[in-house]
Amino acid sequence: MTIHTPRILAPAGDKNCFLAAIAAGADAIYCGLKIFSARMEAQNFSIEELSSLTKLAKSKNIQVYIAFNSIIKESEQEKVFKILCKLCKFVDFDALIVQDFSLLDLAEKAGFKKEFHLSTLANCTFQSGLTTAKQLGFKRVVLPREFTIDEIKKMARQTPEDIDLEVFIHGALCYSISGRCYWSSWFGGKSSLRGRCVQPCRRMYDQKGQKKRHFSCMDFSADVLVKILKTIPQITTWKIEGRKKSPHYVYYTVKAYKLLRDDPTKKKEALRYLDYAMGREFTHYNLLSQRRMNPLDHASETGSGLFAGRIKNPASPYFVTREDLFPSDLLRIGFEDEPSHTIQRVTRAVPKKGKFYLDKHSKFKVKKGTSVYIIDRRGQDLATVIKALDIELSDREETIIRPVENKFKVAPPRKLGKSKNKPREITLSRGKIRQQSIPSTMGIWISTQGYSAPSSGKNWLWLDPVLFPDEEKICSDYITKAIKKGAKNFVLNAVWQLS
């Protein structure tokens, strides 16, 4: 069995997180701009900041990837092109992470000559899609975190030459499927594919009188199972999710996975680091095919942070801490969607099992039993390292970002002639239907359950938005049979389905 050494890719949502990733020894860092990033809630970076930070990273032999992974509107193309021109001219980065294919052409026109990485939001979930990705010009595909080890191995076996794979090893889970969640769009008009997810899955819902966070997932953690990933040569990169997380989280997750990669005998120390990272409770989720885990645990609360205790005596609220508290620790009392939710900074050390009293001047009335979490910790050791790197950063000569000439103009769409086809409504069926009951104009959702193909060439056949590796052949066989029976009309829900 050949063991490979993948690079560890760390998230950075602000300058201190970027410096924490460097301090922890990350091999690569991914970050986004203040616009056109799939994590718009993170602080993110200006071109000026990235110019300085990437120089510092390069001096430490660390790669930097820019996440430009938002869906782009046609009206935004000229603005996008101008930003890409500045990025290419003033920032020394190694790869562009995208989900919108228009960026391939725009970036090349802007002078980009390095690697394109296909974002997990593009949802490349079956083997033929990898060949299409290579043909489009991608050098790496980020696989969905919903995959099992067996599905990852199946994709790896079909990976073309000159392309490699990146897999998630730690971080938040989507209640839906990567790149295919529209809940936020329907809930408040803010698209997750545009980086504006309002996280409706984290909210409280009432089901038969039970008010709970019924859809809030635990965090994914591959932890000790990364040893299996090391045996797959096509996987060159392990990705840690968390561009909205703190420097503390970035530092300790990177440290943990470096230990698990380089010295598995220090497994206990690595797992302690993951506990220090202060995420939600962990799950291996789907990683082990034979032992899949439900990421929804209704018996526990899935708030991020390290659980520290529950409020007692609302008249003079305090809690008995389950963890040592240190000066500058940041506490979250309650959850963000609760009216009594508040944030408080720890000003003095409190030992484990000691009492911590809340700020008496707080305008919020806290209920008895409210959960308290440590959501950030600014340990002196980490603060010292970050400060030293910040000084090193400030000593570097500042790059002056000048305006760039924008010659790119979006061509207006050509006028369409009169169409011979009139708009019409089509009923779309997703259930199993009898062959003789299918009207010629009915839309049919292609299923992987082996339903017989329709005999009419007038039917519209809808492909599922997500096809997993084991479903590719079933779907392909269905389409082949349908075409032989005269099918001509197909609705594709992913570009990979062209393959």
Residues 100 and 226 in one domain: yes
Overall number of domains in the chain = 3
pLDDT tens digit sequence for 224-233: 999 999 999 9
Burial 417-438 (b: 16+ CB within 10 A, else e): eeeeeeeeeeeebeeeeeeeeb
Whole-Å CA distances, 81 to 29, 72, 93, 111, 468: 23, 11, 17, 10, 34
Structural domain contains residue 231: yes
What is the per-residue pLDDT across 329-367, written as a single tens digit (0 to 9) for each?
999 998 877 777 888 999 999 999 999 999 876 666 888
Q: State the average pLDDT for the chain.
A: 88
Percent of all residues in the chain with a pLDDT value above 70, rounded to a whole number = 91
Is there a single domain that holds both residue 263 and residue 325?
no
CATH number of domain containing 96: 3.20.20.70
Does some domain include residue 126? yes
Domain identity same for 90 and 131 = yes
What CATH number corresponds to the domain at position 340? Answer: 2.40.30
For residue 63, tell me if it sits in a domain. Answer: yes
Residue 298 lies in a domain: no
Average pLDDT over residues 74-81: 90
pTM here is 0.90
In this prediction, residues 143-160 reach a mean pLDDT of 96
Q: What is the pLDDT of residue 205?
A: 87
**Residues facing residue 98 across a β-bridge:** 118
How far, in Å, are 126, 337, 385 from residue 143 at the CA level? Answer: 10, 32, 33
pLDDT at 1: 54
Residues 387 and 356 in one domain: no
- Residue numbers of the domain that contains 269: 7-173+217-278+382-394
Q: What is the mean pLDDT of residues 399-414?
A: 73
C-alpha dihedral, 420 to 426 to 428 to 432, nearest 10°: -100
Q: Does the pLDDT at position 451 exceed 60?
A: no
Is there a single domain that holds both residue 106 and residue 13? yes
The whole-angstrom separation of Cα 333 and Cα 324 is 17
Residue 493 falls within a domain, yes or no? yes
179-188, 189-198, 348-357 — most confident range: 348-357
**pLDDT band for position 465 (cuts 50, 70, 90):** confident
d(CA 245, CA 277): 9
* pLDDT (0 to 100) of residue 296: 86
Nearest to 377 by CA among 334, 336, 342, 327: 327
